[in-house]
Amino acid sequence: MALQLSAFDNELLDGTHGEAAAFCMRLLTRFAEAVDAGSFIDIEAAHIDGCLYLGEVSLDFVQHLVRLKGRVRVPTTLNVGSVDLIHPELFHGDGKIGTNGARLMRAHEALGCFPTFTCAPYQTIFRPRFGAQIAWAESNAIVFANSVIGARTNRYGDFIDLCCALTGRAPYYGLHLPENRRAQILVEIESLPEEWPDAGPACVAVGHAIGKRCGSLIPAITGLPAHTQEDDLKALGAVAASSGAVALFHAIGLTPEAPTVEAAFQGRQPIETIRLTADDLRHTVRNLSTVPDGTPLVGVSLGTPHFSLEEFARLMPLMKGLRPLIDIYINTNRGVLSELTDRGWDTALKAQGVTLVIDTCTYVTAIMRDMSGAIMTNSGKMAYYAPSNIGVDIAFGSLAECMASARAGKVVRL
């Protein structure tokens, strides 16, 4: 398919809108040709994943755009970085990584990006509208935007996301097209574990299963708990995007493009049906842990993706009682931190020994003080990534189990 350029695209290429935009548009045209896009579209927003320092090239690319006096053309949010700029004392890793990580985060700000530094930009004032064409990176943000909000983005990676932000354009292909958003695989949940009162563990189990079995295909899910909340869908999408390459799922009756099975499949038939039973879900959850019940713990980590205010509201009653025996880390964003401060919850959490981590995440950088033993989490994404990313054993459990285990100093089940 020949790539068609608009008059504005040609203006970008010839430098009318600055050298940085021209540089970015040259990269975008080559990318568009590689993915066989026929044209470009205007985007309303961007979310940049490249704030995490992964080596000199991370910094070189952004600083090059800064030197060219680049500025983003659309509201652009930033993903987590390598350090907590609000609490820099929490970082205890390699000094060069810490220094360059902070420089990289500031360099993105110099391009006009908003310093959100969160993997959950949908929890900020920059949450996109239904149907918005956007260019988001960060796997959980992509799947949430597409699935739970009904905005439209492909899985954009580092550098391409920033090029879209500086040009305000994205290749028109993939999930930007309505016909490419139809479900392909039907996932039927035939039964749920009776012992799981919350929808969270079920959603994590379903997300992990569809990631493994659907790859990058689009599933439509029936049978999720009726009390499933937005944060549960967040957890589902996050682990589905981690264990597979899911960028969009439809939850029948719960997500905006799937009021019915017929609507999700746009009138067509599924190419495959996957059936999950309560035992399947139990088995999946058990396999997220790399240690058995009763194992001593050195810490609990929550908020991957970043904890929302609603999740803190569910946590606060669980914090009452004896002070936990081990460290508890909760990753969240600046906006939620401000809300916690207004409510006095930050003080109450710190009194219980909780460390609030802002701007970054415990499974991507050196924040946790003790990693000599197992870490417990209620995040399927962290359970999937942490063993390889930071070399720790993981115990997965519900939020209530994480809190009970923190007080016991070992993995306990409720």
Q: How far is CA 264 from CA 32, 134, 161, 247, in A?
A: 27, 21, 28, 15
Q: CA 27, CA 41: separation in Å to the nearest integer?
A: 16
CATH of 7-178, picked from 3.30.499.10, 3.30.565.10, 1.10.760.10, 1.10.240.10, is 3.30.499.10
Query: pLDDT tens for residues 338-383?
Result: 999 999 999 999 999 999 999 999 999 999 999 999 999 999 999 9
Q: Are strands 272-276 and 185-189 parallel, antiparallel or unpaired?
A: parallel
Position of tokens 């799937």? 258
Query: pLDDT tens for residues 39-64?
Result: 999 999 999 999 999 999 999 999 99
DSSP per residue over 191-230, as a string? ---TT--SSHHHHHHHHHHHHHHHTTSPEEEE---TT--H
Model pTM above 0.85: yes
* Residue 62 tokens, joined: 């952004």
The number of residues making up the chain comes to 414
**Topology at the third CATH level for domain 289-408:** Aconitase; domain 3 (3.30.499)
Query: pLDDT tens for residues 252-298?
Result: 999 999 999 999 999 999 999 999 999 999 999 999 999 999 999 99
Q: 280: which residues sit within 8 A by CB, 6+ positions away?
A: 205, 209
- Do residues 13 and 25 touch, judged by C-beta distance below 8 A? yes
Going from N- to C-terminal start, the domains of the chain cover 7-178, 182-286, 289-408
**What average pLDDT values come out for the chain (414 residues) when binned by 10 residues?**
95 98 98 98 98 94 98 98 96 95 98 98 98 97 98 97 98 98 98 94 97 96 96 98 96 98 98 98 96 97 97 96 94 98 97 97 94 96 93 96 97 95
Please report the sign of the dihedral spanned by the C-alpha atoms of residue 269, residue 270, residue 275, residue 276. Answer: negative
Query: How does DSSP classify residue 3?
Result: P
